[in-house]
A and B are shown apart, each in its own frame.
Chain A
Amino acid sequence: MNIEALLASSIDGLMLGFVYGLAAMGLTLIFGVMKVINLGHGPIIALGMFIVYLVATQLGLNPYLGLVIALLLGLAFGIVVYFLAVHRVINAPELTTLLATFSVNLMIIGVGTVVFTTTPRALAIDLGTWQSGVITVLGTKAVAVVIAVIVTGALYAFLYRTRVGKSIRAVANNRAAAELMGINSTWVLALSFGIGTMLAMISGGLLATLFSFTILSGGIYELKSFVIVVLGGLGNPTGALVGGIVLGLLEGITTIFIPVGWVPVIEYVVFVLIILVRPTGLLGAR
């Protein structure tokens, strides 16, 4: 067992974990506020990838500027999706909202495969590398982590320090009581859906700077988000970040001991076991 290799892949996994965590935070925020599992999350992550890609290749701008555009478009897109697909069935049983958000998934994939085809795309960004012994850190990864941390910090400041953020938490806590306090819950729900979508798009945009992708790539990250969300507890944004880091570390470390192909098997088995044993997540209250 090589301790240096272990360290190298832990750092690599840890860094990816922050980016995974960002997408999962979007998923868990939406669940926490309105008890909706957004099955359109994957294609939305993929849309984020394409926004950054198009900004960089078609407009010739810096891909990191594309993240800002992804942020704004994500927020707007999420609010539109909420009113078109979710609002009418917000109080219906889970099956209904699962299918409603899945229909959004189908529509995005349907249009996306026509517009973008399924040819793999990649952004060639070189921000250099930083090396120390066996540990190599890509510049793009380091920047992705920094951005993920900034976005997380901003989300926290928003949720805990602003009036709108506090109303989101109030609605998540008890919608009826929040309405009695004069909060317009419809707009809070729409805004939460928008923010959740925005986080997914930013995460997708960051992933586009690291890996090659197609319009279908979001599916993998959507499933990772599910695993993370369950690790951290459904509806718990802090849990999502910790869950992301745990999953990233797990992926990094397990690849040393077992063939890469078996890693997803372990991930999903752990996922099902956690749902069974501790449905509130590793961090959640019992």
Chain B
Amino acid sequence: MNLWKQPFLWATLLVILVFALIPIVTGSAALREDWLLILLYLVLASSINIIMGYTGYVSFGHIVYFGIGGYVAFFLIQQAGMHLVFATLIGGLVAVLIAVLIGMPVLRLRGAYFALATIGINEAMRNFVANFEPFGGSVGMFFNYEVYTAYGGAKDALWLAYYGMVVVALAVVATSFFVKKSKFGLGLMAIREDQDVAQVLGIDPARHKVTAYAISAFFPALAGALFFFKNGVIEPGPAFLLHRSIEGLVMVMLGGYGTVLGPIVGAFVYERLRSFLITNPTFSSFHLFIAGLLLLLIVLFVTAGVVGWLRQKSPTLRRVLE
């Protein structure tokens, strides 16, 4: 594949980068917090899309890798004084390792059984961490202020976490694009359509699925490491929040599952809508209700999501939008 002849990829990366630069240029901490959250959701939604949208396996408890990455990195930074970058990467690798070990047996399950198993894994992990004393048990862990001095103070450390999130977001979008365009990605989509037929055509379903699952575990783990470094505190509840996992699924559905652009659009729209509803005095109490209603309407009437719908409507857009 000629990298220079992929205008869609470059345009998408450029748009994300331009938006991500807004807080950096203006130096606004409030905008940075907003965009950190949007990029975090983007990473989560795009990763879920690789296993759910391309491969057809609905990972309901995908947030488990966000929590694992967060915990491993937090532990290394706090206990071993490791630098954020290395701790984040190790957090990501540990998540990949666990995803491979869990994925090998669990990805043999199909449909509802797989979805239920992933919920069980997340809950088991949350309860395990809540009892695991080295990770601080149910109260979790927190940083002393000195941790941030290695990065030139708390202010610089927070910006460093933000830069990290931008890099992870760009990396996940590029990965999502290349996976979709590759032979490997075609194999995943064949499995999604009909696993048995795919197998007859010479695709090794087990290897394809485990690889896709490992990729989709890596990026949320990186995002988790950066997010909890920024927060300075990590607890089992927020780290393994099943709710956030399902919000990720909502974003994928909203944008259009199985497309590269869909999760990006979904993450942006969902986060903006959510913060609008929460900060709006009229709707703040009802934001969950509205989110639920929105989800129901999408599921019932616009199953393909925003991007999927646009692709159905116009042949030109179908060629352009991935």
* A106 with B291: CB separation less than 8 A: yes
Task: Select which of B60, B119, B131, B296 is within 8 A of A100 by beta carbon.
Answer: B296
Q: CA of A222 to CA of B292 in the docked complex: distance in angstroms?
A: 18
Residues of B within 8 A of A (CB): 52, 58, 60, 105-106, 108-109, 111-113, 115-117, 119-121, 123-124, 127-128, 130-131, 138, 246, 249-250, 253, 285-293, 295-296, 299-300, 303
Complex interface: chain A residues within 8 A of B300 (CB): 85, 88-89, 100
Residues of A within 8 A of B (CB): 31, 35, 37, 84-85, 88-89, 92-96, 98-100, 102-107, 109-111, 113-114, 223, 226-227, 230, 234, 259, 261-262, 264-265, 268-269, 271-272, 275-276, 279
25 A-B interface contacts by CB (under 8 A)? A85-B300, A93-B111, A94-B112, A98-B60, A100-B300, A102-B292, A103-B295, A106-B288, A106-B289, A107-B288, A107-B289, A110-B292, A114-B286, A223-B123, A226-B119, A234-B112, A261-B131, A262-B127, A268-B124, A269-B124, A271-B124, A272-B117, A275-B116, A275-B120, A279-B109
Complex interface: chain B residues within 8 A of A98 (CB): 58, 60, 112, 115
Taking A99-B250, A109-B288, A276-B105 as known contacts, 9 extra A-B pairs with beta carbons closer than 8 A to each other, sorted by chain A number, are A37-B116, A94-B58, A98-B112, A103-B292, A109-B292, A110-B290, A227-B120, A261-B127, A279-B109
Q: CA of A139 to CA of B244 in the docked complex: distance in angstroms?
A: 40
Q: CA of A104 to CA of B293 in the docked complex: distance in angstroms?
A: 8
* B52 with A95: CB separation less than 8 A: yes
* A268 with B120: CB separation less than 8 A: yes
* A103 with B123: CB separation less than 8 A: no
Q: CA of A103 to CA of B295 in the docked complex: distance in angstroms?
A: 6
Q: CA of A176 to CA of B109 in the docked complex: distance in angstroms?
A: 26
* B288 with A265: CB separation less than 8 A: no
* B124 with A265: CB separation less than 8 A: yes
* B127 with A99: CB separation less than 8 A: no
Q: CA of A259 to CA of B131 in the docked complex: distance in angstroms?
A: 9
Task: Give the Cβ gap from A257 to chain B, nearest Cβ, in Å.
Answer: 14
Q: CA of A107 to CA of B299 in the docked complex: distance in angstroms?
A: 14
Closest Cβ neighbor of A108 among chain B residues: B292
Q: A95-B58, A262-B131 are in contact. Are A275 and B113 (CB under 8 A)?
A: yes
Closest Cβ neighbor of A262 among chain B residues: B131
Q: CA of A113 to CA of B112 in the docked complex: distance in angstroms?
A: 29
* B293 with A96: CB separation less than 8 A: no
Task: Select which of B106, B128, B289 is within 8 A of A110 by beta carbon.
Answer: B289
Q: CA of A106 to CA of B60 in the docked complex: distance in angstroms?
A: 15
